[in-house]
Amino acid sequence: MNDTAPNPYHDLPSVDRVLADPRVAALAVERGHAPVASIAREVLETYRASIAVSPIDSPAVIEAVLARAEALRPSLRRVVNATGVIIHTNLGRAPLSLAALDAVERVSAGYSNLEFDLDAGERGTRFAHLDRVLCLLSGAEAGIAVNNNASALLLALAALCRDREVIISRGQLVEIGGGFRIPDVLRQSGATLVEVGTTNRTYVRDYAEAITERTAAILRVHSSNFRVVGFTEQAPLTALASLARERGLLLLDDLGSGALLDTRAYGLAHEPMVQESVRAGADIVLFSGDKLLGGPQAGIAVGRTEAIEAMRRHPLARAVRIDKASIAALSATLDHYAKGEAEREVPVWRMIALTADTIEGRARGWADACSGHASVEACESTVGGGSLPGESLPSFACAVDAPSGAEAFAAALRAASPPIVARIHEGRVWLDPRTVDAIEDAHVKATLVRLLAEATEANRGR
């Protein structure tokens, strides 16, 4: 008779056995053999320490390794935007053109003349790479780009208005995403805020009456992420420019979204254009690079040479300066406008220009693949990203009736690789093709088919 107790460690899998599991092996190929093997050893050691009180479950060991190894995956990932919001702040705002991506790769793969003058053979400035094209497109005398529009405004105020007063309408004391507030920027710059007018009505005379010997500038902030309608009045920019010139002040115009094309041509309300502000007489015009411009994150200021030079020389300019990859992407994006090809090459404008018929055809293809679980529904796409508030474009969506329920199905879409982000409307999952690149259609269709099949099968098993 054999009284020997079974060895509790016998069922503990080896590291090699764990790494041989197809899912772990695939992860090791993707993320590296050494770090995945290290995680496997850590998990096995944890199980070994508790083996006296808990039996070994090999599948649980594998799941524990996979769960812990998830931390190795980059948290920042490419996603498919099927929400219909073109400039989606939470999804990275504007996607870059192929030319912009190529420019980033070319300057990032090796060295570049970022701050080197090739003609003179000596130190140069990174500001020179964008100045010419910014002037060409805007009609301004000079330009500068920093890391975002909040930085551009902060730099302009610090360089030009510190320890002096800046006049602004009460109706323009806005807050944008992330709790960013114009009054806070003014305070951080060292300028003193002077509010005039009321929330809904501000006249030129309100600005004129507020000017003192301490006044440095008038600041206009475009309400790019909200609308005030009804009994309203705002002073025209041309009138503010005349007042500023007469009284020896600067006029700063913060446009926010920064359109270089006329949005009215696409059935949208007019969004103030950079060129218009320059022509109207603004000394500094500020706008974003990754909104309607359709480029990388950047804050751009164009205007009079002396004002731009003061910004370039200010110590804060180094703290908010733009990097070489963003300069390359922004330069390539601006080049599309200079060549007259922005509508075709810049993804934001390509999406805005898409016809409803084209979108309906693509939505129909997705719905047809869903075997009766989806239909094509008319909907509205929005520009988003703090641009054209309240404006929308007619579109169509593939509306999915998921056996698993809308919330669960939307979560399953987000778990795909790459993730697909949709929206839930009236208990169904809606996917708008306007914001999905056509080359991603096959992935969307295949994912819908797979997830619906899985949801249907799970329902049968209940």
What does the alpha-carbon distance between residue 438 and residue 76 come to, in Å, rounded to a whole number?
A: 23
pLDDT of residue 1: 46
Asked if 452 contacts 402 with a C-beta cutoff of 8 angstroms, the reply is: yes
Q: How many domains does the chain have?
A: 3
In a domain, residue 291? The reply is yes
Asked if 254 contacts 221 with a C-beta cutoff of 8 angstroms, the reply is: yes
CATH value at residue 365: 3.90.1150.180
Host H or E run for residue 429: strand 428-431
Do 115 and 249 share a domain, yes or no? yes
What is the CB-side half-sphere exposure of residue 386 using CA atoms within 13 A?
26
Q: Which residue has the tokens 């990203």?
A: 385
CB neighbour list of residue 384: distance below 8 Å, 6 or more residues apart: 85, 86, 87, 88, 89
Strand order of the sheet with strand 423-425?
374-384, 387-400, 428-431, 423-425
Per-residue pLDDT of the chain (462 residues; tens, 9 = 90+): 455 555 666 667 888 888 888 888 888 887 888 888 898 898 888 877 776 556 666 678 888 888 888 777 788 899 999 999 999 999 999 999 999 999 999 999 999 999 999 999 999 999 999 999 999 999 999 999 999 999 999 999 999 999 999 999 988 777 665 566 777 777 888 899 999 988 788 899 999 999 999 999 999 998 755 556 655 678 899 999 999 999 999 999 999 888 999 999 999 999 999 999 999 999 999 999 999 999 999 999 999 999 999 999 999 999 999 999 999 999 999 999 999 999 999 999 999 999 999 999 999 999 999 989 999 999 999 998 767 777 899 999 999 999 989 999 999 999 998 999 999 999 999 999 999 999 999 999 999 999 999 988 877 766
Do 174 and 217 share a domain, yes or no? yes
Domain that holds residue 29: 15-72
| DSSP state, residue 178 | G
Do 185 and 46 share a domain, yes or no? no
What does the alpha-carbon distance between residue 378 and residue 389 come to, in Å, rounded to a whole number?
A: 20
Residue 120's CB is within 10 A of a number of other CB atoms, namely 8
End-to-end CA distance of the chain: 47
SS3 7: coil
CATH value at residue 252: 3.40.640.10
Asked if 436 contacts 444 with a C-beta cutoff of 8 angstroms, the reply is: yes
Do 279 and 428 share a domain, yes or no? no
In a domain, residue 174? The reply is yes
pLDDT in tens, 56-115: 666 788 888 888 887 777 888 999 999 999 999 999 999 999 999 999 999 999 999 999
Do 223 and 266 share a domain, yes or no? yes
Please choose, from the candidates 196, 200, 198, the residue with its C-alpha nearest in 3D space to the C-alpha of residue 212.
Answer: 196
Do 187 and 49 share a domain, yes or no? no
Host H or E run for residue 30: helix 22-31
In whole angstroms, how large is the CA radius of gyration of the chain?
Answer: 28
Do 269 and 160 share a domain, yes or no? yes
Do 120 and 236 share a domain, yes or no? yes
pLDDT of residue 45: 85
In a domain, residue 412? The reply is yes
Do 331 and 375 share a domain, yes or no? no
pLDDT of residue 410: 97
Do 339 and 390 share a domain, yes or no? no
pLDDT of residue 185: 78
